[in-house]
Homo-oligomer: A and B are copies of this chain.
Amino acid sequence: MPKLDAAQRFKAELLNVSSKAALAELLVEACAAMGCSWFALTHHIDFLAGPEKGVRLHNYPEEWVRWFDEQGLGVNDPVHRASQRRAAGFLWHEMGTFSRPRRGDRAILARARHHGIYDGLTIPTHIPGEAHGSVSFAWSRGSSATPEALMFAQSLGAFVFEAARQLSGGGAANDPPRLTDRQIECLLWAARGKSDSVIAQIMNLRTDTVSEHLRNARSRYDARSRISLAIRALFDGTICFGDIAKG
Protein backbone atom coordinates (compact mmCIF):
# COMPACT_ATOMS: atom_id res chain seq x y z
CA MET A 1 0.00 0.00 0.00
CA PRO A 2 1.32 3.44 -0.93
CA LYS A 3 2.64 5.84 1.67
CA LEU A 4 1.75 9.41 2.42
CA ASP A 5 4.44 10.80 0.17
CA ALA A 6 2.94 8.90 -2.75
CA ALA A 7 -0.37 10.55 -1.95
CA GLN A 8 1.41 13.84 -1.99
CA ARG A 9 2.84 13.34 -5.43
CA PHE A 10 -0.66 12.54 -6.63
CA LYS A 11 -1.95 15.64 -4.98
CA ALA A 12 0.61 17.86 -6.69
CA GLU A 13 -0.29 16.38 -10.07
CA LEU A 14 -4.00 16.60 -9.38
CA LEU A 15 -3.78 20.30 -8.76
CA ASN A 16 -2.20 20.77 -12.18
CA VAL A 17 -4.44 18.67 -14.40
CA SER A 18 -5.76 20.53 -17.40
CA SER A 19 -8.08 18.01 -19.00
CA LYS A 20 -10.43 15.21 -18.16
CA ALA A 21 -8.14 12.79 -19.91
CA ALA A 22 -5.23 13.79 -17.70
CA LEU A 23 -7.40 13.44 -14.63
CA ALA A 24 -8.55 9.99 -15.74
CA GLU A 25 -4.96 8.96 -16.27
CA LEU A 26 -4.06 9.99 -12.74
CA LEU A 27 -6.99 8.06 -11.36
CA VAL A 28 -5.86 4.97 -13.24
CA GLU A 29 -2.49 5.39 -11.57
CA ALA A 30 -4.20 5.69 -8.21
CA CYS A 31 -6.00 2.43 -8.95
CA ALA A 32 -2.71 0.77 -9.68
CA ALA A 33 -1.28 2.08 -6.43
CA MET A 34 -4.17 0.60 -4.49
CA GLY A 35 -4.44 -2.61 -6.43
CA CYS A 36 -7.96 -2.02 -7.62
CA SER A 37 -9.47 -2.22 -11.07
CA TRP A 38 -11.81 0.70 -11.44
CA PHE A 39 -12.42 4.28 -10.45
CA ALA A 40 -15.48 6.48 -10.74
CA LEU A 41 -15.68 10.19 -10.18
CA THR A 42 -18.98 12.03 -9.96
CA HIS A 43 -19.12 15.73 -9.42
CA HIS A 44 -22.52 17.21 -9.68
CA ILE A 45 -22.80 20.91 -9.56
CA ASP A 46 -26.38 21.89 -9.47
CA PHE A 47 -29.22 20.24 -7.69
CA LEU A 48 -31.63 21.33 -10.39
CA ALA A 49 -29.46 20.75 -13.40
CA GLY A 50 -28.70 17.13 -12.63
CA PRO A 51 -25.44 15.36 -13.29
CA GLU A 52 -25.00 16.53 -16.89
CA LYS A 53 -23.41 19.74 -15.72
CA GLY A 54 -20.66 18.24 -13.63
CA VAL A 55 -17.84 15.89 -14.36
CA ARG A 56 -18.37 12.19 -14.70
CA LEU A 57 -15.31 10.09 -15.23
CA HIS A 58 -14.86 6.36 -14.84
CA ASN A 59 -13.34 3.24 -16.32
CA TYR A 60 -16.08 0.84 -15.30
CA PRO A 61 -17.05 -1.98 -17.67
CA GLU A 62 -19.21 -0.47 -20.40
CA GLU A 63 -21.97 -2.98 -19.96
CA TRP A 64 -22.32 -2.21 -16.29
CA VAL A 65 -22.56 1.49 -16.99
CA ARG A 66 -25.07 0.95 -19.74
CA TRP A 67 -27.27 -1.11 -17.46
CA PHE A 68 -26.84 1.41 -14.67
CA ASP A 69 -27.89 4.30 -16.89
CA GLU A 70 -30.75 2.38 -18.46
CA GLN A 71 -32.16 1.67 -15.03
CA GLY A 72 -32.16 5.38 -14.39
CA LEU A 73 -30.15 4.79 -11.26
CA GLY A 74 -27.61 7.53 -10.95
CA VAL A 75 -27.95 8.98 -7.54
CA ASN A 76 -30.28 6.21 -6.51
CA ASP A 77 -27.89 3.41 -5.85
CA PRO A 78 -26.90 2.61 -2.30
CA VAL A 79 -23.37 3.91 -2.63
CA HIS A 80 -24.37 7.32 -3.87
CA ARG A 81 -27.12 7.50 -1.32
CA ALA A 82 -24.71 6.77 1.50
CA SER A 83 -22.23 9.30 0.17
CA GLN A 84 -24.82 12.03 0.55
CA ARG A 85 -25.04 11.45 4.25
CA ARG A 86 -21.40 11.07 5.13
CA ALA A 87 -18.40 13.27 5.52
CA ALA A 88 -15.83 10.49 5.70
CA GLY A 89 -15.02 7.83 3.18
CA PHE A 90 -16.36 4.33 3.66
CA LEU A 91 -15.88 0.75 2.51
CA TRP A 92 -18.85 -0.60 0.60
CA HIS A 93 -19.02 -3.73 2.66
CA GLU A 94 -19.39 -1.65 5.80
CA MET A 95 -22.11 0.55 4.36
CA GLY A 96 -24.85 -1.24 6.24
CA THR A 97 -23.60 0.03 9.57
CA PHE A 98 -24.59 3.64 8.90
CA SER A 99 -26.88 3.73 5.88
CA ARG A 100 -30.23 2.06 5.95
CA PRO A 101 -30.59 -0.41 3.10
CA ARG A 102 -33.47 0.04 0.77
CA ARG A 103 -35.41 -2.48 -1.20
CA GLY A 104 -33.63 -3.10 -4.46
CA ASP A 105 -30.18 -2.31 -3.12
CA ARG A 106 -29.19 -5.95 -3.01
CA ALA A 107 -30.24 -6.42 -6.59
CA ILE A 108 -28.04 -3.51 -7.66
CA LEU A 109 -25.03 -4.85 -5.80
CA ALA A 110 -25.63 -8.34 -7.20
CA ARG A 111 -25.77 -6.89 -10.68
CA ALA A 112 -22.47 -5.10 -10.06
CA ARG A 113 -20.89 -8.40 -9.02
CA HIS A 114 -22.23 -9.89 -12.20
CA HIS A 115 -20.10 -7.36 -14.03
CA GLY A 116 -17.07 -8.18 -11.93
CA ILE A 117 -17.38 -5.40 -9.36
CA TYR A 118 -17.17 -7.09 -5.99
CA ASP A 119 -16.13 -4.46 -3.50
CA GLY A 120 -15.09 -0.86 -3.30
CA LEU A 121 -14.79 2.30 -1.31
CA THR A 122 -16.16 5.79 -1.77
CA ILE A 123 -14.96 9.18 -0.61
CA PRO A 124 -17.79 11.73 -0.56
CA THR A 125 -17.08 15.42 -0.88
CA HIS A 126 -19.39 18.36 -0.57
CA ILE A 127 -19.21 22.10 -0.83
CA PRO A 128 -22.35 23.75 0.48
CA GLY A 129 -24.32 25.45 -2.23
CA GLU A 130 -21.89 24.58 -4.93
CA ALA A 131 -21.11 21.00 -5.66
CA HIS A 132 -21.49 17.54 -4.33
CA GLY A 133 -19.73 14.47 -5.45
CA SER A 134 -17.68 11.45 -4.72
CA VAL A 135 -14.72 9.39 -5.86
CA SER A 136 -15.01 5.64 -5.77
CA PHE A 137 -12.53 2.86 -6.31
CA ALA A 138 -13.69 -0.65 -7.03
CA TRP A 139 -12.16 -4.09 -6.75
CA SER A 140 -12.76 -7.21 -8.74
CA ARG A 141 -13.32 -10.70 -7.41
CA GLY A 142 -10.72 -12.09 -5.06
CA SER A 143 -9.50 -8.81 -3.60
CA SER A 144 -11.38 -6.30 -1.53
CA ALA A 145 -11.26 -2.73 -0.34
CA THR A 146 -9.06 -2.42 2.74
CA PRO A 147 -8.89 0.20 5.48
CA GLU A 148 -5.40 1.04 4.19
CA ALA A 149 -6.77 1.80 0.76
CA LEU A 150 -9.52 3.85 2.36
CA MET A 151 -6.96 5.94 4.15
CA PHE A 152 -4.99 6.52 0.99
CA ALA A 153 -8.11 7.39 -0.98
CA GLN A 154 -9.34 9.64 1.79
CA SER A 155 -6.17 11.69 1.64
CA LEU A 156 -6.63 12.13 -2.11
CA GLY A 157 -10.40 12.42 -2.44
CA ALA A 158 -10.76 16.09 -1.74
CA PHE A 159 -8.00 16.97 -4.19
CA VAL A 160 -9.57 14.86 -6.91
CA PHE A 161 -12.73 16.76 -6.24
CA GLU A 162 -10.97 20.13 -6.47
CA ALA A 163 -9.45 19.05 -9.77
CA ALA A 164 -12.87 18.15 -11.15
CA ARG A 165 -14.21 21.41 -9.83
CA GLN A 166 -11.58 23.35 -11.71
CA LEU A 167 -12.24 21.41 -14.90
CA SER A 168 -15.95 22.14 -14.75
CA GLY A 169 -15.47 25.87 -14.64
CA GLY A 170 -14.32 26.53 -11.12
CA GLY A 171 -16.12 27.70 -8.06
CA ALA A 172 -17.33 30.99 -9.44
CA ALA A 173 -20.06 29.24 -11.43
CA ASN A 174 -23.28 29.42 -9.53
CA ASP A 175 -23.93 31.21 -6.32
CA PRO A 176 -27.21 30.37 -4.71
CA PRO A 177 -29.93 32.99 -4.30
CA ARG A 178 -29.50 35.15 -1.24
CA LEU A 179 -32.43 35.50 1.10
CA THR A 180 -32.92 38.35 3.50
CA ASP A 181 -32.87 37.76 7.25
CA ARG A 182 -36.63 37.88 7.54
CA GLN A 183 -37.10 35.58 4.60
CA ILE A 184 -34.82 33.02 6.18
CA GLU A 185 -36.58 33.35 9.50
CA CYS A 186 -39.97 32.77 7.90
CA LEU A 187 -38.60 29.93 5.83
CA LEU A 188 -37.25 28.20 8.92
CA TRP A 189 -40.63 28.32 10.62
CA ALA A 190 -42.27 27.11 7.44
CA ALA A 191 -39.77 24.25 7.28
CA ARG A 192 -40.83 23.33 10.80
CA GLY A 193 -44.32 22.88 9.44
CA LYS A 194 -45.86 26.09 10.72
CA SER A 195 -48.57 27.84 8.75
CA ASP A 196 -48.25 31.48 7.78
CA SER A 197 -50.67 32.60 10.45
CA VAL A 198 -48.81 30.73 13.18
CA ILE A 199 -45.51 32.12 11.94
CA ALA A 200 -47.05 35.58 12.06
CA GLN A 201 -48.02 35.09 15.70
CA ILE A 202 -44.56 33.81 16.55
CA MET A 203 -42.77 36.63 14.77
CA ASN A 204 -45.27 39.26 15.78
CA LEU A 205 -46.26 40.15 12.27
CA ARG A 206 -49.38 40.17 10.09
CA THR A 207 -50.06 36.94 8.24
CA ASP A 208 -49.75 38.78 4.94
CA THR A 209 -46.28 39.94 5.77
CA VAL A 210 -45.17 36.40 6.37
CA SER A 211 -46.78 35.31 3.12
CA GLU A 212 -44.99 38.17 1.43
CA HIS A 213 -41.59 37.12 2.75
CA LEU A 214 -42.15 33.56 1.66
CA ARG A 215 -43.42 34.71 -1.69
CA ASN A 216 -40.28 36.74 -2.28
CA ALA A 217 -38.12 33.86 -1.11
CA ARG A 218 -39.90 31.53 -3.53
CA SER A 219 -39.41 33.90 -6.40
CA ARG A 220 -35.69 34.20 -5.68
CA TYR A 221 -35.36 30.46 -5.81
CA ASP A 222 -37.76 30.22 -8.72
CA ALA A 223 -39.71 27.74 -6.63
CA ARG A 224 -43.44 27.42 -6.96
CA SER A 225 -44.09 25.80 -3.60
CA ARG A 226 -42.76 26.27 -0.11
CA ILE A 227 -41.61 22.70 -0.09
CA SER A 228 -39.33 23.21 -3.11
CA LEU A 229 -38.09 26.39 -1.54
CA ALA A 230 -37.23 24.65 1.71
CA ILE A 231 -35.49 21.76 0.03
CA ARG A 232 -33.41 23.88 -2.31
CA ALA A 233 -32.39 26.19 0.51
CA LEU A 234 -31.47 23.14 2.55
CA PHE A 235 -29.43 21.72 -0.29
CA ASP A 236 -27.41 24.83 -0.92
CA GLY A 237 -26.75 25.50 2.75
CA THR A 238 -28.89 28.62 3.12
CA ILE A 239 -30.58 26.77 5.96
CA CYS A 240 -29.64 23.48 7.56
CA PHE A 241 -31.28 20.75 9.58
CA GLY A 242 -29.82 22.17 12.76
CA ASP A 243 -31.56 25.49 12.14
CA ILE A 244 -34.85 23.73 11.64
CA ALA A 245 -34.53 21.45 14.64
CA LYS A 246 -33.67 24.39 16.86
CA GLY A 247 -37.13 25.93 16.79
Contact = CB atoms under 8 A, between A and B. Distances in A.
Interface string A205-226: 0000000000000000001111
Interface residues of A, number: 81
B53 A246 contact: yes
Interface in A1-43: 1-5, 7-8, 11
Contacts of A190: 227
A231 interface: yes
Given A46-B240, A87-B162, A162-B87, A231 B234 contact: yes
Contacts of A230: 227, 230-231
A48 B126 contact: no
A151 interface: yes
Contact of A130 (B49, B165, B226, B242): B242
A18 to B, nearest CB: 17
Nearest to A159: B88
A143 interface: no
Interface string A82-113: 00111111000000001110010000000000
A71 to B, nearest CB: 12
A58 interface: no
A196 to B, nearest CB: 12
Given A84-B128, A242-B131, A193 B225 contact: yes
A128 B223 CA distance: 19
Nearest to A72: B246
A61 interface: no
B80 A242 contact: yes
A243 B195 CA distance: 26
A203 to B, nearest CB: 15
A44 B241 CA distance: 11
Given A4-B4, A44-B242, A49-B243, 14 more contacts: A4-B148, A53-B242, A75-B242, A84-B240, A84-B241, A87-B126, A87-B161, A87-B165, A100-B237, A103-B181, A126-B237, A128-B128, A128-B237, A227-B227
